[in-house]
Each structure stands twice: as structure tokens, then as C-alpha cells.
Amino acid sequence: MTEAVTLNNVNVSLDGKWILRNLTFSVESGEFLGIIGPNGSGKTTLMRVLLRMLKPQEGAVKIINASALGYVPQSRQIDPETPLSSRNFVGLGLPHKFRPWLTRHDRFVVEEAMEMTNSIEFADKPIGKLSGGQRQRLFLAQALVKNPQILLLDEPTSNLDPGAQETIASVVDQIRRKRGITVLFVSHDVNLISRYADKILYMTQDSYAIGAVDEIMQSSVLSSLYGMPVEVMRVGSSLLVSFANSKETAASICVHSMAE
């Protein structure tokens, strides 16, 4: 298969501190890569590198079609009194210069994206009046109207309730399979990601590991990443992670919440 994204020995330093060190991995076209790790591990920096907002000091980044990137942020500040309709908000993502009207093709593309993200039911509602989960579906729809080949999602479920989190992840996976889009999905929750990802990239401040969920979520691998004993326990179909010499749970490392 074709490699959609390839990083080779990428190093990024900010304010004299190394954030990414010798990061090397590839993602094949149509693959779902989950990116997890604690705060400060470089996940957002990686997103900025992929979006070409940040240039590495060293290393190479290759993207099969950088102009066909779709991006969904963690959240956006939207005034509750914003009168812009959901449909018009999605239309702002169309890949052409702003114009005060939409062509028949534009309307079709917007409607299709909203159908795919299960957001057509509130297409005429003001975006300021929607819930967090509904807005995230609109952010996803707005990214899709560009017809991206690669979709980058920077913790799009972090402020949502468990039901909304599952909805977003499921919708992303359905779209990925239907359109053959490559997905890089940043999350704190390995139990959510493991239900959809082909493999995960687990990042810490000093190191990283990439592979299938069962390969990475092992005590030996995480202990090596964190430089201290880490226990990985399976409870049913869920994972619990904790420091081996402490009663502190995964919140101290990376949020691996229990599946519903």
C-alpha cells in the first residue's frame, strides 16, 4: 500500500526544549492511526508539524498530498449568540474563495458532509445553540467538504461525554472506510481508540512506540516509555494503567478510561 504520511528522524525544539526526538513512523493510505500520550508528550506539536505550521529543526516529513489535509481541532470558542446556521458554518470550509452564495454543487457537497456526520438534522439551527458533541460533528463536516485524503483530529472528543465521544469516533471510522481516508486521531483514551485504530502511536516526553494496540499496551513497553514500572491490567475488554509502585491510576499517566 501507499504511504500517506512518513516521518523520518523528526526533531523539534521549542524554547530550547526538545519536544519531538527522532520521531520516525509511517501511515498507509486508508489506515487509522491513534495517537495517545500524556500532556506535554508532543501530540499537538506533531499535529502542527503535519499541518506545516511548524518546521522541524531536523528530519523529513512526507505527505502524499499536503493540499488534501482535513483538520478537526479539539474545540473552538463560539459565542452562544452567533446566528450563523450550521449549514452555512460547514460551507465556510469549502476550498474556494469566499462568496456570498453557494452553487448547486457546493450545496450538494455540504449536504453530503452533514449527512455523513449525522448533523443534517440541525442544519438550520444556529451553531451557537448547539451542544459540544453537535459542534464537533460540524467541525468534522467542515473538514470533509475539502474532500481530504488525510484527516487530522486533535483530541476532538476530550470535552465530550462518553456517548458523544463514541459517536464521533464511530462516525470518523465509518467515513474513513467509505472514502478511504487516512486518519490520524489524537486522544487520551486508549479504550476508545483501540476499538477503531489499526495501530497506535504512544508518545511520552522522551520516547515513543508504535504498533498494534496489543503490542504497545503492555507493562514492559510502557515501563520503558515512562522510565518507571507501569502496570497494564485488562478488565473485561478494557485497559487500566497505573504506576506499579503507587495507587495512582491512569490519570497520572494518560487517561485510559473504562469502556461503557
What lies within 8 Å, CB to CB, of 57 at 6+ separation is 11, 12, 13
Q: Tell me which residue of 239, 235, 216 sits closest to 226, measured CA to CA.
A: 216
Distance CA 149, CA 182 (A): 6
Q: What is the pLDDT of residues 34-85, one digit of tens each?
A: 999 988 899 999 999 999 999 999 999 999 987 789 999 877 778 888 889 9
Which whole number is the average pLDDT over 82-93?
A: 91
CA distances from 245 to 178, 224, 250 (A): 45, 15, 13
Residue in the block written with cell 505550521: 53
Q: What is the pLDDT of residues 203-212, one digit of tens each?
A: 998 899 999 9
With beta carbons less than 8 A apart as the criterion, state whether 11 and 56 touch.
Answer: yes
With beta carbons less than 8 A apart as the criterion, state whether 118 and 137 touch.
Answer: yes
pTM: 0.89
Whether pLDDT at 260 is above 90: no
Whether pLDDT at 163 is above 90: no
Alpha helices in the chain (DSSP H): 43-50, 86-91, 104-116, 132-144, 162-179, 190-194, 213-216, 219-226
Q: Tell me which residue of 140, 144, 196 sits closest to 166, measured CA to CA.
A: 196
Q: What pLDDT score does 256 carry?
A: 44
Q: What pLDDT score does 54 carry?
A: 94
Q: What pLDDT score does 247 carry?
A: 52
Which whole number is the average pLDDT over 235-253?
A: 66
Q: What pLDDT score does 13 carry?
A: 94
Output the nine-digit C-alpha cell for 28.
Answer: 498507509
Which whole number is the average pLDDT over 136-152?
A: 93
Q: What pLDDT score does 249 carry?
A: 45
Which whole number is the average pLDDT over 102-110?
A: 90
Report residue 164's pLDDT band, with 50, 70 and 90 as the boundaries.
confident
